[in-house]
Structure 1
Amino acid sequence: MSEKDLRYTVLMEKNEDGGYTVTVPSLPGCISQGSTWEEALTHIEEAISGYIEVARKLGRPIPVVVTVPMHAENAGL
């Protein structure tokens, strides 16, 4: 499977002091942040690419999907 075919759910949390923290439940330890929504998404895309690159070099499997239930109170709806 090509890296371009992989899609991951990311969880974005607005920080109290501004900015956003983003995690990828399917990729343990894959976390990033940014001062804007767009910047945080750009940074997590880079983090995902790096995670996959290292996993491949180490011969480890690439996680594909972990389902994360969404609760309306956490989604800002």
Structure 2
Amino acid sequence: MSLEELEWLLERIAKQVQERKQIVNKFTNVKYMNEQLVAMATDLDIQTEINSINNEFSITEMDGLEKL
């Protein structure tokens, strides 16, 4: 292969490696966020706050609008 062809090939490989790293990072971030959501869902303080918010806004749920 010529030097130009080798350079082209190396650039393509580097680009593919970067794209795969980004995909892996996205999956890692999604996994981490899911773990955090599970932790939040089981946190008693957060559950208490959600119940408080739901109670505070329960009146607005009686506004006569149908759920979509």
TM bracket, shorter-chain basis? 0.3 to 0.5
The answer to which structure has the higher strand fraction is: 1
TM-score normalised to the size of structure 1? 0.31
- Tell me the TM-score normalised to structure 2 length: 0.35
Based on CA coordinates, which of the two structures has the bigger radius of gyration? 2
